[in-house]
Structures are given as C-alpha cells and as structure tokens.
Chains A and B, each alone.
Chain A
Amino acid sequence: MLSLSLRQTWHEWKAGPLAAIFWALTITLAALTAVNVTSDRAQRTLAVKAGELLAADLVVTGRERITQDIRQSAETLGLSTAETVSFPSVVFAGDNSLLVAAKAVTNGYPLRGQLEISDIAYAPGTTTDQLPATGEVWVESRLLTDLELSTGDLLAVGSNNYLISKVLSYEPDRAGGFAGLSPRLLLRVADAERAGLLRSQSRASWQLLVAGAPIIVDRFQEAIKAQPGIRITTPEQAQAQSNNALQQATQFLSLAALCAVLLGAAGMLQAGRRYALAQQQPVALLRCFGVSWSEILRLKLWQLLWLMLSACSLGVLLGLLAQQLLAQQLASILSNQLPGLAWQPIMETVAIGTLLLGTLCLPRLLQLRRQASLAILNEVAIATDQHWLITYLPAFVCLLAVSAWQLGNLRLAMIVLTGILILVASLLLVVKLVLWSIKHLHRISAPELRLALSGLQRHQQANTLHMTALGLALIALLVLGWVRNDMITQWQTSLAPDTPNRFLINIQPEQQQPLQQLLQTAGTEQLEFGPMAVARITHINGKPAADWRPDANPPGRRDGTVNLSWRNDLPTSNTITAGQWFDSSNEAVQISLSSNWAEALQLIPGHTLTFQSGEQQIQGTITSLRDVEWDSFNINFFILLNPEAAADLGFQWIASFYLSDSNTGLLREITRQYPNITIFDAQALIKQVGELLGKLIRALEIVFLFTLAAALVVLVNAVQSGLSERQRETAVLRCLGVKKSTLQRAWWLENILLGGLTGLLAVIVAAGCTWWISRDVLDVNWQLQPWLVAGGLLVGLVFLPLTTWLVSRRSLNMPPLAAIRNSI
C-alpha cells in the first residue's frame, strides 16, 4: 500500500487538483512557520524569570533621585539596592552625532539577572558581573554601526570623552521590550554626574532597584507606598507590560499570516472539491472490481499522508527561510538578540497543517463512500451530494480555531473571519451584479467583443472565482501599500523645509543668555525660547484631582505631572476651539488647555484647576481650549498660562531653531559647554522613526508575499477548474466555423475585461478600507494615491489575463478534434 499510494499520488499529481492542494498547503504552512517561529523566538526573550525583567525584585521610579530616606529604609531592612537613571542624550564621534538612550548605574546593578557583553558589534554575548569601569562606557551594537565606531574608540558624551570598552548585547530589564528609537549607552552614575549630564535633568527617570527576601520586600513596599512622587513596579507588572507590547507586534504579523492561511484554506477547499470530483470515476470503477471502501479509503489516506509530508517539508523549509528574514527585521527592533530556533512552534504548525488538510479536504473524500459503482454504467446515477454542512462546518470550525489560536483571541478571530466572509460575500455579490449587467450590452456589433461579453456571462461561475481570488489578494496588497505610503508621507510632510528642526530642553535660567548669544552668532534661524515648568495637578474644581473622573485617561505622563508654559500670544500651530485667548488686562490666573487633554478629563472653560509646582501652588480658571497640531514639530503644551500667573514659578527654558545639517559642530559645542542640556534632533528622529517603520513594513511585506502566493494558487486553481468547459466550448465554436483568431481575440478581450473589472473593484474596496484605517486606526490624513490606483488596475489588466493564458495555453491551442475527443 505504501509504494502503491506513493505511485498513485505521483500519477494524480499531474492532473492538477492534488498539486493545487499541495501548493496551497505548502504556502499556508510556510506563512505559519515563518510567523510562529519568529513570534516564538521573540516571545522567548521574555521567558527570563520575572524578577530579571526588572533586574530587581522591586523598583521605585521617580523623576528625581529617590530620596536618601527611602534608600536608607531599604538598606536598614537588609535589602540590597542599586540605582539607575535613564535619560536621552546626544553623543558625538567625529562629525557624527546620535541620540542615545543613556543609562547610568551604580554598583550592584543588575540585582537580578546578568548583563551580557561582547567585543564586537552583533557578536553573541557572554555574561558578566562587571560594570563599565570609571571613564568607560558600554554601548549597544547599533550605536557602533551608526557612528562607524568599534570598541576601543572614544565617544564624546556631555563634556567628557569616554572609552568604549565593550558592546552591551543583553540587559535583563530590557528583555522583550522594544528598543525604542535610540541605542543604549551604559555608564556609571558618577561619570554621568562628572560629565554634567544629570544637572537638573528634566527628562531623567531615576530608579531605585531593591532585592531581598519576599517578605522583607513586601514590608518595604508597604512602608514607602504612601510617599509622593514615586511609582512602584513589581516584576509581575513589568512582565505584563512587555508581554503586551510584544504581543501586539506579533499579533500584527499573525494577522498578516492569517490572510495567507485563509486564502490557502480557500485554495485547499476548492482544490479538494475538484479532487473529489475527479476521483468519482476511479472510485466507482474500483468498487466494480470489488475493492472495499476501507481499502480505497486507506489508499486515499496514505496519499494524503504523502501529500502532507511533502508539503510540510517544503512549507517548513520555506517558512524557516522567511523566518530568518523576519527575525532579522525584528531583532533590530527588539532590544536584545533573539534566542535560537525551537521545535515546538514548528510542530504546532505541522499539527495545524494536518488539521487543515483533514477538515478541508477529507470530508470531500469521505463523500466518495456514497459514490455508487453504478455510475460507471449509467451516467444518470451520479453520487448524491452530502449536506453542505458536513462539507463546510468542519472547515469553518477548524479555521475559526486556527485563527483564534493564531491571534490568541477568539473574539478577534470571529471578527476577522466574519469580516472576510462579509468581504467575500459582497465581492461575490458585486461581481455577480457586474456580470449580470453586462447581459444588457447585446447591441455591440464587433464579433470579438460580443463573444467576449457573452463569455464573461457564460463562464460566470469560473469568472466569479477568478475575480474573487485575484480581488482579495489585490485588496490585501493595495491596503498594505496604501497605509505604508500614508504613514511615510505623513512623516515626511510633517517637517517643512524651514521649520525648526532642533530642540534644546533643560536650559537653566542662567544658561539662557549665553546660549542665546551662541545660537544667534552660529547662524541659526527661527530661534525661539520658551519657559517650561513641571507641575502636578492637585485639585480640579476644588476637589482632589484623583477624585475627578477617576476613569479618565488624559494623554501625557502617567505620574500625574504635566509640563506647562506661559506666553502672551497664541502659538501659530494652535487654534482656539472654545472660550477666549488670554485677556492681558486681567491679572488673574488664566489657563488654556489643549482640547484633547481637556476632553479626556471633561473640562470646559469656567472650570478651575490647582497646580503644585515646586513650593508654589497656583489656582486658576480655564478660559480657553486649543486645537493643537501635535505633528507640526513645534513645541506644544497641554497647559498654557498667562505670563502674569507664572511670575513666581521655578522653570527652565526650552529652545527651538532651524539649523542646516552641515552645521552639526554647533550641537557638539552646546553639549560640551552645557552638558545638562538635552538636544532633540527632529531630523534624526524622523529618520529613526522612518527606519523603524521601514523595518516593520518590510516584515509585513515578507508575510504578504505568502498571501500573494496563496492567491496565485487560488487563481490558477480557478482557471484550471473552468478549463475543460472552456475547451469543449472552444472546440465546438471552432467546429462551427468560428475563426481561431477571432476566438483568440475574444478570449483575450474577455480576460482583460475580467482583470480590469477585478482591478477596479479591488481599488475601490482598498480605498474604502484605507480610508477607514487612516481615519479610525492610524489617525492620519487619507489621500488618493494615483500610483497605487494605476498599479492595481494594471495588475488586474495584465496579471489576470497573463496567468490565465499561462495556465490554459496548452489546451487552448489544442486542435478542436482532440479537445472534443478529450472531453468525451
């Protein structure tokens, strides 16, 4: 039975349907393997012990250094402690500068888990208990490649130069998290202080790491939890957070893979039906010869097994190759290197493949049991169809289960499946409608066109399949391209040529005068200074702020502090939506809120707010709400005050200006002279965001390649299934004396019309989808994209006819006699 089934599979392979099942399954498995193995590798970066994710058993975070009191209370309890402070900084090497995520640490860090270091960029790391020595820094691989440095080189950080002694390849408390935009720079707190980096750092996040026996840690947490201005993080919280971020990213990829899986499933369902139809005669014949059903079934099951094994091998192989590319994209987004391959996701994928084959193709084959052997003698006695539920219910349940498992969310799976079903149904409906309306174009005289139009009509079932298959794939690809372009243009247009592109924050009051002079003489344009204070809102309308709309989730920081500023005139990128701008004749405290912030807290003009800033307390009335263009790259604030109100507040200056790229020496000068000042390079930021976006998009594109391949299988399958009908028709028309050239022209016309219609439909649907995505999901401006529209139409006009031609070329050129004989 083994070799027999193998030979049988090989023989039937050439007939088409079995090969279609094979390719559909292979592509499905490849897409699943690629995404699942990648997600597994990414997820396993999280598989470190929960405590290691914090590098401690408990972390106390604050915007200022955690007070001596708190540290002491930990130490007297016998807990070990360490301190870290994270802040953005610009580093320099030669003419190049780079924004980094600096982290300064004290001895003892990390309290849980271990750092891993290496000597060259992107090399696997080895664990270490050391920290950078004084005067040395450790950096992430990305920094070295970006600045074209290697270990042993010097790096200018703040006012000092540091030796890059090691490459930092793993930090426990960054595991699984996204690296963010800037690479890591690790140094000692004492060095950071010496370089002036920490002096009145408003962007710093200080952490006190604590570790020890669980009961003592609990006691410590109890003791300090009422302290103001701090946030306590437990390992469980940390894990939940990083899990969340990764899950979202991998879910995104899973969703893309699901497109390929569902199209592949459609292909398998369709090819399975064709295969079962083609098996009716052989089964009936074998039954005549007295072969029992169980023997036939065994043969078919063996064949399916061979199919399964070969599709698995090829699919998993292709999937692993794609996975390598995916992991490359993802690894550069994630902060740490990905762990190696594991067998489990591959096994799971193979199991899913078996399940899909079993539920999509097997019910059809089982239906052959009812195949009457009489059909061999008598054409009239064709096997009765089983109830459609028996054929499709297992398929649907299985697809739902696979989707739910793949997305890790049953509800989302239901939504996706229903959405696709609705999309397919409406597509089918529209296609039917279009084909139906063509019926009424009979007054055309050109014979080719008339033949083509009636052809569209005659092959309605096959054409509907073609259009739906290609249409779905086109829609998927168009939507991807569209959204991607939307996002990229959004980023590019957000920075007009002469708008400020560099920002300085953290400028101390006494630094403002000399800095202004330095900037003016260096030839900056659009230079503007503004004050900024950090405040905590204590009361709203006289009630404690915490009691006001406790469920509200205003944008901005989570620790309850906000940045505010004051000025006389309305900023240019703002527009008043409610109330009046500040009345300069009025000395009372007037407050203007950004409308999105006010909406979140349900605040309107007339409400009162009380802030605490340093020692100062200010109470005032909201007089206006402003719409703020957050993406305009101007300095914007949720809260603005009239200058009179802020007279006694402690503050820093922030500055914005335009500086041409050739003049980066100035930035270096600023960090050298004023190491505490943080420079934001908007240009570099845009570039970095663009790169990140590019990587994500590339990862998606890899997955979408499988979708394209699956769509191709469905399309080819659809063409093949309509082939014999077409052949017979062509032969009959030829026999009736229609010229071959006329038939050929009509054939091309029909397919070009079909493709054009498909392209048009896909473009319309994609435009609708992207319009919705832009508006409701991404919150960007939707734009008509002529190139994509043209591309979609062109693909329809060229791709569909060409594929159809390639698939059916041989049989179309068959002499009519052969075609007729073949179809008997």
Chain B
Amino acid sequence: MSHFSSSSDSVILSCSNLQHSITSSDHSLSILKGVELQLKAGESLAISGASGSGKTTLLGLLAGLDVATEGELHMFGQSLQNMDEEGRAALRRQRVGFVFQSFQLLPTLSALDNVLLPMQLTGMTDARDKSLNALDSVGLSKRLTHYPSQLSGGEQQRVALARAFAGQPELLFADEPTGNLDHANGRHIADLLFDMNSKHGTALLLVSHDLDMANRCQRHMHLRDGQLHTDIKQAA
C-alpha cells in the first residue's frame, strides 16, 4: 500500500497522438485521431461521449487489450506499443482492475469464486481473506455461494466491483459500469465505486455517458470526433 502515497503525483498512464483505425475488407474506419491523455496515481478521470464515439475502443487501447495503429502509450512507466500480448498481460497483473458494462461474471462460478479465481491464478497472497473482505464491503457477504444467475443485475455488478477492488489495484478501468442498470441500482453502484476508489486510493479511468457520474470524478474529458476535449466541466 505504501507505494500508492509515495508516488501520488507520478503519471501511471499516458498516451500521446493515439490513433486507431479499423480496416475491413473494402474501407477503413478511423475511430481515434490523436488522443492525448495523462493519468496520475490515485487520480480519477471520466471520459464521456456519444454512443459509438469510440470510448470503449479507447479504454481497450489504454488497458493494453488491443494495440493502437499509431501513437505512444505508457502504463506504469513502460511503453505498451512494443510489447506483445503476453507482456501487456504481465504488466496488468495484480495492478489493474476492470469493471464492465455487462458485468462479465463467470456463470459457472459462485460469487465468492468469481472474486477469488483471478487472484488465485495471478498468485495473490491471502486471496480468500481479501475476497471475503471485498464482498463484505459491497454488502454481499450473505450471498457468497450464489451463482450469477441467482443474482440481480445490481448484485452482479457489486460482485464485479468486489472482484475489481479485492486485489487492491493501482489502476481501475470502468466501462459504463451503470450502463445496464436502472437508475437506483446505478446510483448505488456509483456510490460504491467512488467509495472504494477513495478508500483504496486507486487511479480510476471511467468511461460513461452518464454526466452525473462523470462529474463525480476529479477530471472529466469528452471524446468527440476521435479526440479528447478537456473543457467539458465548464461547459456543463
């Protein structure tokens, strides 16, 4: 935990002139056209934008799930552009968490096992205690043995939050975490997310078109025409 505070103003994620285009058989679609971004440790940043503007694509690139066509990208001080998929995965290991719009729990595993499995596989110590704590902090300590099909959407997303925070990552990527939930449930998830974020001092990169939620972040940027614009807070 100590290194979070000691490196509190160091940049853990940055990109410059990030471009991405997708070529299908006949034509090429340019989604990102030179994105510039910096995220410091413990900082929270919201990216909003219209549906189809490329938010998810950007998040995938920043997390190293895909390789950009053009540009520089650094995570934890290392350049992602020249790494292979294995190398990028190794960089994420135990340091990066995810929350997805569609929860992405494994249907064959109970709530507890869903939180536990990634930690066990990445060789985290005290995985079980950490999982139990995390599930407790999202208020699901009574539903440990329940399967995703037995949980409501909101509960599923709480399990996903527990999974994301249990390993105490330095950086959390969240892609429309409330996108599939009704208003009340969405609020509850957002509260939990920001609570846990401030408690753990995790850097947060949140993608959402929900302005309420975006405004709760320290910084808020807008993706339009393939580029990030910083002026959104004033405009809103």
Q: Contacts A288-B65, A291-B122, A295-B121: A378 and B92 contacting too (C-beta < 8 A)?
A: no
Identify the interface centre among A14, A287, A299, A822: most chain B CB within 10 Å of its CB.
A287
**0/1 interface trace, chain B 73-105, chain A, CB 8 Å (1 if under):** 000000000000110011111111110101010
Looking at chain B's contact residues, the main secondary structure is mixed
In the complex, chain A residues 269-297 whose Cβ is within 8 Å of any chain B Cβ:
281-282, 285-293, 295-296
B170 within 8 A of A: no
The stretch that binds B, out of A369-377, A693-701, A730-738, is A369-377
**A4 CB contacts on chain B under 8 angstroms:** 117, 120-121
Q: Are B89 and A292 in contact (CB under 8 A)?
A: yes
Q: Contacts A281-B106, A376-B100: A290 and B122 contacting too (C-beta < 8 A)?
A: yes
Q: Are B109 and A11 in contact (CB under 8 A)?
A: yes
Across chains A and B, the number of contacting residue pairs, with CB separation under 8 Å, is 85
Q: Are B59 and A282 in contact (CB under 8 A)?
A: no
Range of interface residues on B (Cβ < 8 Å): 35 or more
Q: Are A7 and B113 in contact (CB under 8 A)?
A: yes
Identify the interface centre among A14, A281, A377: most chain B CB within 10 Å of its CB.
A377
**A296 CB contacts on chain B under 8 angstroms:** 121
Q: Are A287 and B106 in contact (CB under 8 A)?
A: no
A728 to chain B, nearest CB (A): 15
Q: Contacts A11-B108, A377-B65, A378-B57: A289 and B175 contacting too (C-beta < 8 A)?
A: no
A12 within 8 A of B: yes
A6 to chain B, nearest CB (A): 12
Q: Are B108 and A12 in contact (CB under 8 A)?
A: yes
**B109 CB contacts on chain A under 8 angstroms:** 11
Q: Are A290 and B93 in contact (CB under 8 A)?
A: yes
Which residue of B66, B100, B107, B108 is within 8 Å of A372 (Cβ)?
B66
**B93 CB contacts on chain A under 8 angstroms:** 289-292
Give Cα distance in the complex from A373 to B85, angstroms: 9
B149 within 8 A of A: yes
**0/1 interface trace, chain A 354-390, chain B, CB 8 Å (1 if under):** 0000000000000000001110111001000000000
Give Cα distance in the complex from A584 to B106, angstroms: 96
B63 within 8 A of A: yes
Identify the interface centre among B93, B95, B106, B120: most chain A CB within 10 Å of its CB.
B106
A15 within 8 A of B: yes
Q: Contacts A372-B66, A374-B60: A290 and B91 contacting too (C-beta < 8 A)?
A: yes
Number of interface residues of A (CB under 8 A): 30
Q: Contacts A289-B98, A291-B89: A299 and B121 contacting too (C-beta < 8 A)?
A: yes
Q: Contacts A288-B98, A290-B94: A376 and B104 contacting too (C-beta < 8 A)?
A: yes
Give Cα distance in the complex from A282 to B121, angstroms: 12
B56 within 8 A of A: yes
Q: Are B89 and A290 in contact (CB under 8 A)?
A: yes
A186 to chain B, nearest CB (A): 67
B169 to chain A, nearest CB (A): 9
Which residue of A8, A14, A374, A824 is within 8 Å of B65 (Cβ)?
A374
Give Cα distance in the complex from A31 to B74, angstroms: 58
Give Cα distance in the complex from A500 to B188, angstroms: 97
Q: Are A822 and B60 in contact (CB under 8 A)?
A: no
Give Cα distance in the complex from A55 to B113, angstroms: 69
Q: Contacts A374-B65, A377-B65, A378-B56: A285 and B89 contacting too (C-beta < 8 A)?
A: no
Q: Contacts A281-B106, A291-B89, A822-B149: A377 and B60 contacting too (C-beta < 8 A)?
A: yes
Give Cα distance in the complex from A290 to B92, angstroms: 5
Give Cα distance in the complex from A378 to B58, angstroms: 11
Q: Contacts A282-B106, A289-B98, A292-B90: A377 and B56 contacting too (C-beta < 8 A)?
A: yes
Q: Are A289 and B92 in contact (CB under 8 A)?
A: yes
B23 to chain A, nearest CB (A): 13
Give Cα distance in the complex from A290 to B122, angstroms: 7
**B94 CB contacts on chain A under 8 angstroms:** 290
Nearest opposing residue in chain B for A12, CB measure: B108
Give Cα distance in the complex from A372 to B84, angstroms: 12
B62 to chain A, nearest CB (A): 11
A140 to chain B, nearest CB (A): 59
Pairs of residues from A and B, 7 with the lowest C-beta to C-beta distance, nearest first: A290-B93, A290-B92, A289-B118, A11-B108, A374-B65, A291-B121, A373-B65
10 pairs from A and B in contact (CB 8 Å cutoff) = A4-B120, A4-B121, A11-B109, A14-B108, A15-B107, A288-B63, A290-B91, A291-B118, A292-B90, A381-B66
Interface residues of B (CB under 8 A from A): 56-57, 59-60, 63, 65-66, 85-86, 89-98, 100, 102, 104, 106-110, 113, 117-118, 120-122, 149, 175
Q: Using A281-B104, A290-B92 as known contacts, list a sample of 6 further A-B pairs with CB atoms less than 8 Å apart, ordered by residue number in A.
A: A290-B122, A291-B118, A373-B85, A376-B98, A377-B60, A824-B102
